[in-house]
Each structure stands twice: as structure tokens, then as C-alpha cells.
Amino acid sequence: MQKEHNLSKNQKIIFDLIDKSGGPMKAYSILFSVQKKGIKAPLQVYRALDKLVEIGKIHKIESRNAFIACQNSSCQISKATAFSICESCENVSEISNSKLSKYLSNFSDNSGMKYSKYNLEFFGLCKKCKSK
């Protein structure tokens, strides 16, 4: 079970927005959407995003500079993330595959590195875009 975090006002506004959007959102698009709720400055958005990433409620899609709500709410995998990204329609979804996460979490090589976190992004074409 994931630890329950009491989100602050700004954190809640921003998390709800991202969560309801169902897909990745960019920081300045978030900013635009929450201005009517009194969040006026980029920093207010980035601070909430940082915190939400830290506690695992959202993840950053690094290749897109965008943020998506965690789609595995019941498990704590914010340090082991995998995404599937359609290069045509930009649809993103979080991959939840226990064999994959086990394989990557246990990965080690002879470099002497101690790995504590990973992020994997797969790119390709989704079902819809393939058949166009």
C-alpha cells in the first residue's frame, strides 16, 4: 500500500487536473488551466509538480517534458517507471508488467553502480495509428 499523502491546496488542484485529463500534460498548459483557480505563476506549478513526482502521484515523461498521473495507484513504483509512447498520436500509458519491473529492478552489471531507480520509455505506434 502506498503511503497516504495529504495534498496541499495547489497540489490537489494540479493533481486532479492531470488525473482527469487522462494523459500527459505540460507545465505551462497546466498553468493556463489553473489560472482561474488562483495559481498564477510557473513556480507554483513546478513546485506542486515536483512534490507530486516525489511522492509518486505523477510521473514525468522525460522525452516529452510532460507529466502524467500514476496509473498504478495501489503500488509504489515511482522509482521504477515504464511508459509506452505513440510517436504518431502522442498517447502515453504507463506499463505495468511485473516481469519487466522485476527484470529491471534486479538488473546489475559489472560497472560497480548501485542502481536505485530507473525510467524506461518505449516508442512506437499504437493500435489506432498502426492501422492508418
Partner DNA sequence: CTTCTAAATGTTATATTATTACATAATGTT
Partner DNA sequence: AACATTATGTAATAATATAACATTTAGAAG
Nearer to DNA, 41 or 89 (CB): 41
Least spacing, CB of residue 37 vs DNA, in Å: 9
Best CA proximity match to 17, nearest among 37, 2, 3: 37
Q: By rule CB under 7 A, what count of residues binds DNA?
A: 22
Nearer to DNA, 63 or 96 (CB): 63
Q: Does 22 bind a second copy (CB under 8 A)?
A: no
Best CA proximity match to 67, nearest among 87, 43, 51: 51
Q: Does 65 bind DNA (CB under 7 A)?
A: yes
Which one-letter amino acid corresponds to residue 46?
A: Y
Residue 41 is given by DSSP the state S
Task: Supply 24's cell numbers.
Answer: 500527459
Nearer to DNA, 17 or 47 (CB): 47
